[in-house]
Chain A
Amino acid sequence: MKLAIRGVGAVGGFGCGLEALNAALSSGDHKTKHVVVKTAQGPCEMPAYLADTSRLEYFLNKRALRRVDHYSRMALLGAYLALEDAGRLDEDRSRMGIIIASGYGPGRATLVFLDTFIHDGDGLSSPTSFSNSVQNAAAANISILLNITGPGLTVGQLEMSVPSALIAASLWLEEGKVDSVLFGAVDEYHDELGYFWHRFFGEKATADHEMKPFEFDLQTGIPGEGAAFFLLTRADEGVSPYGCIEDVIINRCDRSPLEIPKDALLFIGADGHKQCGKYYKEHLPENVQLACYTPIYGSLPMGPAFDMAIAALSFKQGMIFPSQACTGDERALDVNRITCLKISGSGEAGLISLIKGN
């Protein structure tokens, strides 16, 4: 079933909102910051794409946000921006569902809660920490603060979280369970993630480098965080300038060939992980027009949602943004279909195809 994209909201290392995303895509600026990771050898600096959620105070007062942690704030901001972009902030949301995809989930809150549990015992663990640590925390916070009374779901399947959650959104709309789905994806950076990154990738993580997604044999990933949200409806409700999600497929690229539409512009989610790079190298079809925007938002499991946002923006603007594979300036979009491809470190492939119009 085709899903129309009615509104898009995004926050990440590139900034807050579609204007910031548009500006980063046009300029190609990579806005990494430096984070300090505690290692056995002492503190170590490494780059990361971090999100600023201060714009959320435009929508909600501080009192309403006091129990909402950074992970949920990113999601909440993405949700508000998508509804605002769709012009549906003031609509009744009793027939709206919410589905969130996250590869890592609320990692920081989970570890904070575990720390209180370990240091102070189960009787002295913070209930607020606990409520922020559950996998569905962001969806719950959004439901409460936006008064969304339809069903809510959080899907965690690492790099396949976004396509997997989109399949659920499609089913809900097809079954008539809801009239619209506020669909989003979120992942956060936190100190422990930085530590793991350093442990796994060593000097590659600490070097002051840039992501090189097409250098498939090299580890050049830089951790990122952020949220991308979409207001989705059935496509028969009218044309959307952002286009439609036409198809979502998850398979294993080492077992069957990738089903990439021949006329599609392919956005690949190669995000500098050598483990995933080998699959892109082996399985990308020849003679396909490619683009890759991971250096705009970083390495994170929910990256395909940023690619969806960029695809939707490309349809609306009628242009292809410059990327490392499409050298040169911005140019007119000459295709009606964009497919976002993400391959995991174990060879799972998620394909999300968007088409212009409906």
Chain B
Amino acid sequence: MTVKEQLKKIIVEELNLEEISPEEIEDDAPLFGEGLGLDSLDAVEIVVLLEKHFGVEIKSLDEGREAFRSINTLAAYIEERMPR
């Protein structure tokens, strides 16, 4: 399973997005606001999930803001920093 596929599955399952399946999440759609409709509490939850599942920490707000734009940006952030 690719990082993007894992991310989608984790987001749907851990954030209880019952009305959408992982396959329905578009790679470049915004995660917050108009796109997937996530909110600030989800952002905190995703920070925890990234560390738990990928061993990747988001250390600063600026880094997080950029990474949290879409599945594409989040996957790229993880792949750059994931322990080998």
Q: A-side interface residues toward B, CB under 8 Å?
A: 61-63, 66-67, 120, 123-128, 131
Contacts and interface: CB of A to CB of B under 8 A. Distances in A.
Contacts of B44: 127
Given A63-B19, A124-B48, A126-B45, 14 more contacts: A61-B19, A62-B18, A62-B19, A63-B17, A63-B37, A67-B16, A67-B41, A124-B52, A125-B48, A126-B48, A127-B44, A127-B45, A127-B48, A131-B41
Interface of B: 15-19, 37, 41, 44-45, 48, 51-52
Contacts of B45: 126-128
A124 B51 contact: yes
A128 B41 contact: yes
Nearest to B19: A62
Contacts of B41: 67, 127-128, 131
A5 to B, nearest CB: 35
Contacts, number: 28
A66 B13 CA distance: 10
27 contacts: A61-B19, A62-B18, A62-B19, A63-B17, A63-B19, A63-B37, A66-B15, A66-B16, A66-B17, A66-B18, A67-B16, A67-B41, A120-B52, A123-B48, A123-B51, A124-B48, A124-B51, A124-B52, A126-B45, A126-B48, A127-B41, A127-B44, A127-B45, A127-B48, A128-B41, A128-B45, A131-B41
Contacts of B15: 66
Contacts of B52: 120, 124
A155 B51 CA distance: 37
Instruction: Identify the 8 closest CB pairs spanning chains A and B, nearest first.
Output: A66-B16, A62-B18, A127-B44, A62-B19, A124-B52, A124-B48, A124-B51, A127-B45
Contacts of A67: 16, 41
Contacts of B51: 123-124
A109 to B, nearest CB: 13
Contacts of A123: 48, 51
B31 to A, nearest CB: 15
Contacts of B17: 63, 66
Nearest to B48: A124
A128 B44 CA distance: 9
A358 B56 CA distance: 63
A120 B44 CA distance: 16
A127 B16 CA distance: 14
A63 B37 CA distance: 10
A124 B57 CA distance: 11
A265 to B, nearest CB: 45
Contacts of A120: 52
Nearest to A131: B41
Nearest to B16: A66
A229 to B, nearest CB: 24
Most buried by A among B16, B18, B41, B45: B16
B7 to A, nearest CB: 17
Contacts of A63: 17, 19, 37
A55 B77 CA distance: 41
Contacts of A128: 41, 45
Nearest to B18: A62
Contacts of A127: 41, 44-45, 48
B34 to A, nearest CB: 14
A62 B37 CA distance: 13
A28 to B, nearest CB: 37
Contacts of A66: 15-18
Nearest to A68: B16
Contacts of B18: 62, 66
A263 B49 CA distance: 61
Most buried by B among A120, A128, A131: A128
A133 B41 CA distance: 16
